[in-house]
Amino acid sequence: MDWSLIGLSFAAVFLSELGDKSQVAAIALGGSSKYPKAVFFGTAAALLTASLIGVLIGEGTATLFPPQAVKSVAALGFLIMGLRLLLLGDGEDDTTEATD
Amino acid sequence: MTPAASPEDQAIETKAAPENAGDDASAETSNAAIAHESSATPTANDNSTDSTGLKGWWKVFASTYVTIFLAEIGDKTQVTTLLMSAESHKPWMVFAGAGTALVCTSLLGVLLGRWLATRLKPRTLEVGAGITLLIITIGLGWDIFQGL
């Protein structure tokens, strides 16, 4: 085990992710959803998959996932979730205080 | 099904005791109660058929997963891990560190969200969350625009 490399990548990623859009989305979705655990597992799994793909296929990522197209779909996803919360209240008004 | 109180009492209870919504039997009665005052909360009961609780869980999981995954592909964290693993030739070590960091930041995010949920009114939180997501949308739109 290369602990210094693990520590270095932990620090680099932790600092770059603090306050980044995924974490902000996790705050927004986790706070307003009826299923915060689903939000946590969804966010963590997505980030793990993305970094796993980065590590495994490296430079090939951009060819496999053209960034503009992929980001457009992501933007659409955030737009839909945001509008849903604003306009429909996600149908979860009365369960927001549930603890898990 | 629990013996129902008068519709008015039931409606009040729905608002006052949100934890009841997890229970199928009481959820059914409270849905009936909501139907009585559906003009007051027209959107609240669209998704609140609680027999679909597990389905709702997976829906939240899947939509979160897909959106965050797509937003993170090609983003700076992925580039960082990519460069570090290319440089060190130890991709699994980099993944171990990066993965732990990502789990930590997501956990912190969701916990902070839950903490805010105890402080703010549900509707305030929803509006705040909705606006936040729209800001992220604009941020992504900006990234796309700059990359063209």
pLDDT band, residue B22 (cuts 50/70/90):
very low
Which of residues B148 and A29 earns the better pLDDT score? A29
What percentage of chain B reaches a pLDDT higher than 90?
43
Q: What is the total count of domains within chain A? A: 1
Question: Angle of helix B91-119 relative to helix A21-32, nearest 10 degrees?
Answer: 40
- Shortest CB distance from B97 goes to which of A5, A30, A98? A5
B55 CB near a chain A CB, below 8 Å? no
| B64-118 residue pLDDT tens | 999 999 998 878 888 888 888 888 888 899 999 999 999 999 999 999 999 999 9
User: d(Cα B119, Cα B38) in Å, to the nearest integer?
Assistant: 27
Query: Does residue A91 fall inside a structural domain?
Result: yes
Q: Work out the angle at residue B76's Cα, subtended by the Cα atoms of residues A40 and A85, and round it to the nearest 5 degrees.
A: 40
What does the pLDDT read at residue B52?
67
A70/B85 touch (CB, cutoff 8 Å), yes or no = no
Q: Which of B66, B70, B99 sits opposite A51 (nearest CB)?
A: B99
User: Can you say whether the dihedral through the CA atoms of B14, B24, A93, A91 is positive or negative?
Assistant: negative
Check CB contact under 8 Å for A48 and B140: no
Q: Is residue A87 domain-resident?
A: yes
Dihedral over Cα of A45, A50, A51, A57: its sign: positive
Residues within 8 A of A (CB atoms), B 59-118 only: 60-82, 84-86, 88, 90-114, 116-118
**Does A100 reside within a domain?**
no
For residues A98 and B11, what is the distance between their CA atoms, to the nearest angstrom? 18
Burial B43-58 (b: 16+ CB within 10 A, else e): ebbebbebeeeeebbe
Measure B60 CA to nearest chain A CA, in Å: 6
A64 falls within a domain? yes
pLDDT of residue B86: 83
Q: What is the pLDDT of residues B40-66, one digit of tens each?
A: 333 334 444 455 688 889 999 999 999
Lowest pLDDT segment from B26-30, B120-124, B138-142? B26-30
Q: What is the mean pLDDT of residues B140-146?
A: 88
Average confidence (pLDDT) per 10 residues, chain A, 100 residues: 92 92 94 93 94 80 82 93 86 44
Higher pLDDT, B31 or B128: B128
Average pLDDT value for residue range B17-25: 43
Q: For residue A11, is it within any domain? A: yes
Q: What is the span of the domain harbouring residue A27? A: 3-95
What's the pLDDT score for residue A56? 82
At residue B130, the pLDDT reads 94
Could you please report the per-residue DSSP string of A15-33? Answer: HHHTTSHHHHHHHHHHHH-
Q: What is the pTM of this model?
A: 0.72
Q: Measured between CA atoms, how close is A87 to chain B, in angstroms?
A: 9
Q: Is the pLDDT of residue B131 over 80?
A: yes
Query: What per-residue confidence (pLDDT) applies to B107?
Result: 96
